[in-house]
Amino acid sequence: MQPVIEILSRKIFASPIKDYVFSKNLISIRANSYSKGESYDWHVDSPHLDQKRTDISFTLFISDPDDYDGGELGTDDKGRLISVKLDAGSIFFYSTGMLHRVKEIRHGNRHCIVGWVESLVPEDLSRRFWQTFAQS
């Protein structure tokens, strides 16, 4: 099995992802696990870790979605609620300043890798502009 850091580096620094996050540095990779009854309420991530900006947060799903009930990653983008529960090996990116949570686990175990990316484009609005520009 390949080391997690190699897998993440390929996912984050390869197209088309790099065209979305404008990756500069991969910051503070952490494993997390949630079991029955556990959750993480609404919060935003720290804008700085390890003396670097954390512009983009990500969750890399390790567990198969059939291995647990509940545990969806919920985001709130200015009132637009999104619920995410992806296949093992899939990664979800969101702005570090976006309100998010992990819903309660009703059964099984949810394993993920979380981390942050310092972007070459520090402002979220500027990244969104360049994403739109690049897609047209």
Closest by CA to 29, choosing from 63, 47, 6, 2, is: 6
How many Cβ atoms sit within 10 Å of the Cβ of residue 7? 15
Residue-level pLDDT, tens digit, the chain, 136 residues: 457 777 777 777 776 777 778 888 888 889 999 999 999 999 999 999 989 999 999 999 999 999 999 999 999 988 999 999 999 988 898 999 999 999 999 999 999 999 999 988 877 777 765 554 444 3
* Strand pairing category for 48-49 and 80-84: unpaired
C-alpha radius of gyration, the chain, whole number: 15
Q: pTM for the full model? A: 0.85
Q: How far apart are the two ends of the chain, measured CA to CA in Å?
A: 38
Confidence (pLDDT) at 2: 59
Confidence (pLDDT) at 78: 86
Find where tokens 């404008």 sit: 22
The two three-digit tokens of residue 38, written as one number: 């556990």
Confidence (pLDDT) at 20: 77
Confidence (pLDDT) at 120: 86
Confidence (pLDDT) at 131: 53
Q: Which helix (H) or strand (E) holds 59?
A: strand 56-61
